[in-house]
């Protein structure tokens, strides 16, 4: 162990079995260690304790409307590209109680007194780090900071992983969000055949790594990692020309392409539910039969849900074409005006999990061709 060489932004070579000890240390610090796990022929984010819980030797084949797991015949733990779940659920839960009202002569409001959970997220890819940063801009703004989101964010420890095996629907290079993780992590792994190359991103990450057996990162290992990332950047399954997106979308709201994609879209909301950046939500009230206890919950919603656009006097987006147009123009156009960045990180989930096989990269290309004609 060579603690004197450890510093934030430095890199070391860590034997793979040492990651088990890091996970154990995190749990001793009160974190729930969460990572990718195989379940029902799919991939979920759930509790893990050791490397044995990870999907070793498995990759995912993804295309429009298609996801399947494949045994790759190798021994790496983090080559698999994520499935339908995103890390969003740990910061912005699909369902959370805001308060409970109880009537006993008069109404008494009880807030949720449970402390925010402490999560250590293991295997967060660069596109997903970018997605967390985008959600930060929505939930932790200067004018309003969401207390539930911010409390969970404060309790977060992130072990990122650089992506060496992009899937067929990935286009993070086009969005400038990968495959290398640049910031927002405590520790960042690049998995090589025999070791993890680990970059230190925070003081807590440094202190945890200082307890482990490691070696300085040799030039050979760093070159191997860089070459792997350069190769991954060339293997993206999709490309997206982002040069003029806000203007292209907002200035062509009556293009014929919206009608064509509207005929294919099922308005099922899959794309928004799997998206790591979408943040639409609604509140629902649940009252017991005696009318003495009412619980208000915040739940995920979607701009594809017809009721989401309902206001007094009617629905502002009755047609599917208008709801798809709203989603895409916001995601790739007006989101940038609101938050200074597009709302897409190029993870490709919306393509993979669309039952109609709608591909936003194809839709943008088709819209661009229609405008040129």
Sequence spans of domains, the chain: 3-234, 245-372
Tokens of 300: 């995920």
pLDDT at 114 over 90: no
Per residue in 225-265, pLDDT tens?
999 999 999 999 999 999 999 999 999 999 999 999 999 99
Can you tell me whether residue 370 is helix, strand or coil?
helix
pLDDT at 1: 42
Instruction: Read off the pLDDT of each residue in 309-314 and give the average, rounded to a whole number.
Output: 80
Q: What is the DSSP secondary structure assignment for residue 82, as one 8-state letter?
A: P
Q: SS3 sequence, 240-285?
A: CCCCCHHHHHHCCCCCHHHHHHHHHCCCCCHHHHHCCCCCCEEEEE
pLDDT at 5: 65
Q: How far is Cα 120 from Cα 130, in angstroms, rounded to an integer?
A: 17
Share the mean pLDDT of the chain. 93
Tokens of 63: 């295309």
pLDDT at 255: 95
Owner of token pair 């977060």: 156
Per residue in 138-181, pLDDT tens?
999 999 999 999 999 999 999 999 999 999 999 999 999 999 99
Per residue in 34-53, pLDDT tens?
999 999 889 999 999 999 99
Q: How many CB atoms lie within 10 A of CB 255?
A: 16
């Amino acid at each position: 162990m060579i603690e004197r060489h450890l510093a934030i932004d430095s890199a070391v070579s860590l034997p793979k079995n040492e990651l088990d000890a890091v996970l154990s240390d995190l749990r001793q610090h009160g974190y729930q260690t969460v990572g990718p796990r195989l379940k029902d022929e799919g991939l979920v984010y759930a509790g893990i304790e050791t490397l044995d819980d990870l999907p070793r030797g498995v990759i995912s084949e993804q295309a429009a409307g298609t996801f399947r797991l494949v045994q790759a015949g190798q021994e790496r733990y983090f080559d698999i590209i994520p499935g339908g779940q995103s890390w969003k659920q740990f910061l912005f839960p699909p369902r959370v109680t805001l308060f409970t009202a109880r009537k006993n002569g008069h109404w008494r409001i009880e807030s949720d007194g449970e402390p925010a959970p402490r999560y250590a997220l293991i295997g967060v890819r660069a596109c997903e780090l970018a997605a967390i940063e985008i959600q930060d801009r929505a939930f932790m703004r200067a004018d309003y900071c969401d207390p539930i989101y911010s409390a969970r964010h404060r309790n977060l420890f992130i072990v990122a992983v650089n992506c060496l095996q992009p899937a067929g629907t990935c286009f993070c290079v086009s969005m400038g969000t990968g495959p290398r993780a640049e910031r927002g992590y405590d520790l960042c792994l690049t998995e090589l055949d025999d070791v993890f190359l680990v970059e230190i991103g925070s003081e807590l990450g440094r202190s945890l790594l200082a307890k482990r057996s490691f070696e300085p990162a040799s030039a050979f290992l760093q070159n191997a990692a860089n070459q792997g990332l350069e190769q991954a950047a060339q293997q993206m399954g999709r490309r997206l020309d982002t040069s003029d997106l806000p203007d292209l979308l907002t200035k062509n709201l009556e293009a014929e392409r919206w009608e064509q994609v509207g005929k294919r879209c099922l308005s099922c909301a899959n794309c928004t539910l799997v998206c790591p950046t979408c943040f639409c939500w609604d509140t629902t009230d649940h009252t017991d039969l005696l009318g003495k206890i009412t619980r208000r919950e915040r739940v995920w919603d979607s701009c594809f849900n017809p009721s989401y656009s309902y206001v007094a006097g009617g629905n502002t987006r009755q047609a599917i074409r208008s709801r798809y147009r709203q989603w895409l123009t916001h995601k790739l156009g007006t989101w940038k005006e609101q938050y200074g960045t597009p709302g897409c990180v190029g993870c490709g989930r919306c393509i993979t999990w669309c039952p109609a096989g709608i591909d936003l990269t194809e839709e943008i290309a088709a819209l661009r061709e229609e405008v040129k004609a």
